[in-house]
Structure 1
Amino acid sequence: MASLRERKLKNGITRYVAIWRDPESKKQTSHPFDTKQAAEQFIADLEANGHQLSKVIDYVNKREGDGQTVQQVIEEHLAQLDGVEKATLAKNYAMARKHIYPALGEVRAQHLTRADVVGWINGLEVSPKTAKNIHAVLSSSLNTAVREGNLNTNVAYGVKPPKPIFTGAEFEAVFLSKFELEQIIEHTPKIFKGLMILLANTGLRYGEATALQGKDLSTDDDGRLVLQVRRAWKGTGTKDSMYLGEPKTRQSRRAVTLSRSSSAALRPYLTGVAADDFLFTINGRFIPHWIFRDQAWTTSLKAAGITSSPRIHDLRHSHASALLRAGVPMHLVSRRLGHSSIKTTVDKYGHLMTTDDATAADLLD
């Protein structure tokens, strides 16, 4: 831990001295500065570089050299993006500010090395998937700088985030039984019950379900309700930033059919809905996730005696689980859930197909 001391010279001038212990020699070391600000900056650099003076010198050279900083490169790149969802752009900015700028933001892009990127990405305390997304922001920004002639090469290209290490502490989906789902629906307040029925029986994402309008609803020849998923609520990170946009993936634009029993249970909550009306509202407006969570989900779980702490999104997981256990082929489940590819479905739910290999073997007899 470095410290700062003030020293008054005989001539009345105050010097500011940074004091730290060298990690290699174990000796206390100091360096004087003319201003307090310069000393504090040096101490911050020491803390960021393990109190190793050689690393601090290299770091400062990179930061104070010529050309744009990494932060400037990223800001310019993000500002030029066209055709990107507002929510996606907001997430990119947030990832850069939280995970890239503190470590690499002040480094001059032309002095950034592959070793810098590898060290940085291996030090991120996030999931491998999130690390991949953060790296994509950096790499695409450097690509833009190369394309515009501001950089010679993209040193982040090809750097891989660390592979996942499963410790047993990772988040696991909660798969609710049919009985548990029935109990949750039974204890849901009436104003939210229609939405709860739909979420539990379709596997729709919350943003898709709450964006449904009367014109998205039809009935097939067997009397089953059919929902056309055409839009979804998006947000940029604040409660007041919600807007209607495209569903999550191209495959998310789909038709989802309810069973006969689910259709019968849902119909009473859809009466009087006009073509441009949302199917589910509160005080004439769509139901934000946080309101449904606080006023319907949490209270229903408690009343139903559910102690496994499921999330609202676990209704989607539970629906997928029920379909697979009923023998519905994986590719049909993938299509119903609107996954971008069947690989996503297999990765998420493949472990539920425990009898597939035995079934395949029996077909050969």
Structure 2
Amino acid sequence: MNGYRQISPGQWFFISLFSTICLTPFGFPTTLYRFLGHGAWVPIVAAYLLTLWSMYVSLRICERFQGLNLVQWSLKVMGRWVGSLYAIGVVVVMYLWGVFMLFVFLDLIIYSQLHYTSRFLILIFLIGAVVYLLSQGLEVWVRWGELFAVLLLIGLLFINVPQLANANFSNLLPFHNPVLELSTYLKPELIAALFIFRGIFSIYFLHPHIKPSKHLYRWSMFSITLAFIAVLAAIVLPITIFGASFAGKLAFPYQESLGTVALPWLPIERITLLTPIVWQIIIVYVLCVSLFSTARGIKSLLNMKKERMIIYVLGVVTLGLTIYPVQQKTVFIFMVYWSLIGGFFLIVIPSFLWAIFAIKRGGAK
């Protein structure tokens, strides 16, 4: 067992929601516009449906192996060698998720607000805060996230709803090729988009610490649905405001669409000033979940008693990997192949295992 359960289903809801929204509004949109034009929302809907299925599978597997995280039950099911290889693959995927999202966030925050701020200072602040929270234990960083959860929800409403005033939904028409061509979706970049709601897969490491509840599936489905609405808005709103062709030429279309809205009745007239605060809190969520999952996986693989030193090492390694800027195009290429590998490890293989368990259970009856 991994110790007593410390997370309520409500706390899991917020962890799942904000880590699933992640930095997705700034990672994939330009590519989707380039390939699909005003039909860029189609892969988002497909990813949502696939994630609902993956969530169902993950919860069934977690319930089958109560008290065990993914590393522990994979060693039990697949054997020492195959299970270790699979577990290492998942741990690397979960870690790189945080690293790639940190690259995206740094590009965004420097581009939009902190033009002259040292990259090193931003990283020291973020990684230092995350390492400190994680070193204090699971309950501390979960409660920290819960403290800002409602403010984040309000912030997301303030960011998205005012943009509707400038939206022209006729920009989403007509619904024609290449949106309807199946061959279009076979491109690696679009297949990779199916893995954009990856925050939900932290359940494989957090489930042993979630208090038992008959409604966990309902909480999870609700969080994914809200995350889907937020990400869908981030894809659709720039199209309705700028048109798909112009939006595809922007570095951060969603950030630029925010700049079209003014709220004179607020002390802060431009909502673009609110976005760095929102995404800074969200990146802390993401890094906490990513590094926690990674540290817990390494701890289980190496059969260690404590993980604080692992967290410190991960913090230093993350700082070293992200301290030097990398071109957005290079980061995106790595993200595409990472997403394909992540989808295989966290969607395909668990679905295959669930099918085997279901067949065996049926045969036993």
* TM-score, normalised with respect to structure 2: 0.25
Between Structure 1 and Structure 2, the one with more helix by share is 2
Between Structure 1 and Structure 2, the one with more strand by share is 1
1 or 2 for the larger relative contact order (CA 8 Å, sep ≥6)? 2
* TM-score, normalised with respect to structure 1: 0.25
Which structure: larger Rg? Answer: 1
